[in-house]
Amino acid sequence: MINGNGAFQSGPPGSGAGGRAIVFGSPGTTVTAVLELVNRGGFPDSFRVSWQAPDGWPPGSVIISDGGGDHASPYLVGTISPGASRTFTVKVTIPAGAALRTGVIIDGVALSRDLEDSITLEIGTGSFVAGIVFNDADHDGIHDPGEEGWTGVTVTLSDPGGTIVRETDGSSAFLFEVAAGVARELIEITPAGMVSLTPDSVALGAPAPGETLRVDFADVRLPAISPAQDLSGTAGAFIDVPHVIMAGTGGQAAVSASLPAGWIDVFYRDNDANGLLGPADSLLRPSDLALDPDAAGLDLVPIIVRVFVPPQVPAGTSASLTITLRQVLSGTAITVEAAVVDRLYVSASASGLLRLVKEVDLAERARGM
């Protein structure tokens, strides 16, 4: 076993498959691990332990100590009784220029019985930067249990060798393994349609070998209004403009309209969601816009903007209706916005726009019919 790993697990010599452990250190230092050799045979036996210094490392980089002295490879261990074990210390001196990860395979073979094993001691010189990009439902900047993550988000880390780029994986996590002892900057690229509740750029100190710096990024979805409309009506009459507000995260919202001077707007909640102003609909209230993507009726809010066109507006006039939603995220002072722009056309009383609507009344229908 190496540092307690590999009990009841074995691998043929040269494979390193019978146990694995990792120790971290800086180039120029010596790190140690505990090697335990167990005689699982039914008779007393002695063993030969052997290893090689990694490619490019100087001879003597890896030695084994039994408490009475240091030994080079191969090392002949004295007799061990059945079921008994002996413990040794593996000493590794890390040379300058060592890679982030270097494996040392140590083999043990019984001299008289068919017993063998092979373990890997991995030497690490680097450090780690890890974290998650998550949907901060309660807007506190802390990843709480149950708060889902965002996958496919780009995170970059500055490095002397050039910027390193990662995307959050299926667990919404990211991980960088880099050389230790270097200060860096970590940047999250906030996806379109989202807003960050934590800083997108974080300055990182110089971590020690094996140290993990943890940084989590909190993002939430922005609200949305759709669709953009092209509608017409006559002067002196109303044009009813339907939309749906989609909640991105929790918080109180308000809507406003921008129209030419003299035009009048009134907001309604489209309670039956049919896009037409009728008896079932009601004036839009603040409580209708307490948006919450997890609450039915507040996740999707159908609305109708009734626009009065002044009688003096000449036929042929085209006007823009800009609807703006402003939301204060719950528990914060952060305000986010969404907007949609509609085109309203004023037609003569005997003219208008023709809209064709295709409906299929068969339960079974073929594409294109």
Q: Letter for the amino acid at 255?
A: V
Is 215:131 a contact under the CB 8 Å cutoff?
A: yes
Task: Looking at 208-248, list the stretches that DSSP marks H as alpha helix, in order from N- to C-terminal side.
Answer: none
Hey, which residues does 326 pair with through a beta bridge?
254, 337
Fold identical between 20-124 and 126-221?
Answer: yes
Q: Tell me: the pLDDT tens digits for 243-285?
A: 999 999 999 999 999 999 999 999 999 999 999 999 999 999 9
User: If pLDDT is split at 50, 70 and 90, which confidence band does 365 have?
Assistant: low
Torsion, CA 137, CA 142, CA 143, CA 145, rounded to 10: -80
CATH number, domain 126-221, options 3.30.365.10, 3.30.1110.20, 2.60.40.10, 3.40.640.10: 2.60.40.10
pLDDT at 128: 98
Query: Domain coordinates of the chain in residue numbers?
Result: 20-124, 126-221, 224-347
Is 18:119 a contact under the CB 8 Å cutoff?
A: yes
Hey, which residues does 122 pair with through a beta bridge?
22, 103
| 140-156 mean pLDDT | 96
Name the pTM for this structure: 0.83
Which class does domain 20-124 fall in?
mainly beta
CB atoms within 10 A of CB 156: 18
User: If pLDDT is split at 50, 70 and 90, which confidence band does 91 have?
Assistant: very high
CATH number of 224-347: 2.60.40.10
Rounded CA separation 53/216 (Å): 39
- Lookup: tokens for 97: 């220029």
pLDDT at 359: 63
pLDDT at 356: 57
| 127-156 mean pLDDT | 96
